[in-house]
Amino acid sequence: MTYCIKSDCPSPKNPSTARQCLACGADLLLRDRYRVSGALGKGGFGTTFLAHDEGLPGCPPCVIKQLHPTAESPHVMQMARDLFAREAKILGKIGNHPQLPRLLDYFEAGTDFFLVQEYIHGATLQKEVKTRGAFSEAGTKQFLSEVLPVMQYIHRNQVIHRDIKPANLIRRDADKRLVLIDFGAVKDKVNPVKSTEESGHTALTAYAVGTPGYAPPEQMAMRPVYASDIYAIGVTCLYLLTAKSPKEMSYDPQSGEILWQQHVKVSDHFAGVLSKMLEISVRHRYSSADAILRDLDLEPYLNSLAQNMAIPTTVPKDVEPSSQPLFNSDDTAAVLGLDDSQEGVSPSARMAAAIRARRERRQHTKPSPVSPRRPSGNLLSSSSSQSGPFSGNGKKITPEALHNAYRRGHRDFSMQPLARLNLQRMALSGASFAGAQLAGCNLQGADLTNVNLSKADLRQCNFKNAKLPNAYLGEANVENCDLRGANLARCNFTGANLKGANLCGADLTGAKLTDRQLTEAKTNWNTIYPSGRRGLR
């Protein structure tokens, strides 16, 4: 079918090979190459159509945005022309990002303006929520990890999107990545203006554009700033968590703030991040996407961090007194991957990193007073968990020694010091590593079916594409492990520490773990959750 885009056409549907509309006689091939097949949506200034480019082999699909002002007054026409030119300029400037649509063409015909963009095949976040229901806290954090880097890129190019909302975020079918669309409301220049209410730069624009509820007050007052996009992302998070649009929520009549807390059940730490994203006052709102990404990694139990103090007045209970300073720049660099020349890291983020580093050093030097759970089943072991198959030989444990012991029938490697061994693709099914020191081991592609890893130190282990179905990891330390693509079906993670563990693409079907553990780990749309559903719980 070919669709006639003339607004007054009485019958816009035409045969797929027609070149002139049978009803009104208008040309159906825009610029003699674009054949419109139907409307995708309609807004205040025009309509978006799905079309095919017959000027290219295979007639690939594309999106044509027609800006057609409803009024023909000089003022309205000039406004439409300005918006058209601005969107074309911005898409041409930033459209080479993989999560933004590319500009393919633009032209003016009579009183109409046309933008031709890359067609993104997929479903909007709005449709996903309506189809599958609200997101979990972990799913919402995953959304932030995907959209905030795009915001960083856009803002670095001095662009304010001004219309971020679930309907303008598409999950691309080809690679499941989020794509931000609809740059018709962009602001491409930020003009510094001194203000008694706001510190920093304020952007002025001739038109108040945006979606009510998602646009903050300063944007509706024609004074958008980069933080205006942050507010819209925060409201989008509320929609993902509640499946409720802003108009379905109550507002504080005095401040104008959304009263969202009663609708959302998230951790206190994440609630604090959301609150700062949704601040009515620009002064107190996050000013950049970078700051949100940093705060999502902070340890929320530290009161001093919550108060954003540079130096704590009290030492947390789990940090022992020491003559060494609490803050060590090398600790921070090791955890965050920074050097002293890098800027943009808040004192609170650096302090949290230092505390984590000190804790990790302590765990390496202090033996853990744990008594591992004895393995279940018939494990063929000829030695106790204290002596083990390697005791008494006076030699360093090697991957070859471990493999040979396993081949000889040893299955109990409990409490053994096996840190940083390369056990890649090794078959160790049915073995027990209860309480073993395995930090930093390479177990990529290994067969660990039915293994017992209770109370084991597995920090920073590489389990990529490993097989761990029915494994027991009760009270294990799985912090910062790489479990991408691992088979974790029916694993038991009761009491395990999964902070920072990478579960992207992992299969957790039937696994036993809590929502809190999933929230602390990293997941994506290829993760299969315990329910068996991919990407959502």
Catalytic residue numbers, as ranges: 163
Annotate 224-276 with DSSP letters as a single string: --HHHHHHHHHHHHHHHHHS--GGGS-B-TTT--B--GGG----HHHHHHHHH
DSSP state of 20: B
Whole-number Å distance between alpha carbons of 197 and 227: 15
Look at residue 372 and give its three-state secondary structure.
Answer: coil
Whole-number Å distance between alpha carbons of 294 and 275: 15
Instruction: Retrieve residue 45's tokens.
Output: 């200034």
Instruction: Retrieve residue 288's tokens.
Output: 């950049």
Residue 88 CB-half CA count within 13 A: 19
DSSP state of 64: E
Whole-number Å distance between alpha carbons of 146 and 173: 15
Whole-number Å distance between alpha carbons of 206 and 452: 65
What are the C-alpha distances in Å from 161 to residues 73, 154, 201?
27, 8, 16
Annotate 123-189 with DSSP letters as a single string: EEHHHHHHHH-PPPHHHHHHHHHHHHHHHHHHHHTT-B----SGGGEEEETTT--EEE---TT-B--
Pair 193, 175: CB distance under 8 Å: no
Which residues 6+ apart lie within 8 Å of 51 measured at CB? 30, 34, 35, 36, 37, 61, 62, 63, 64, 116
Question: Beta 169-172 vs 122-124: how paired, if at all?
Answer: antiparallel
* Burial class for 272, CB neighbours closer than 10 Å (0-12, 13-18, 19+): middle
What are the C-alpha distances in Å from 354 to residues 159, 328, 348, 461?
35, 6, 10, 21
Instruction: Retrieve residue 383's tokens.
Output: 């030695």
Whole-number Å distance between alpha carbons of 78 and 490: 62
Instruction: Retrieve residue 198's tokens.
Output: 């706001």
Which residues 6+ apart lie within 8 Å of 25 measured at CB? none
Count CB-CB contacts under 10 A for residue 241. Answer: 23
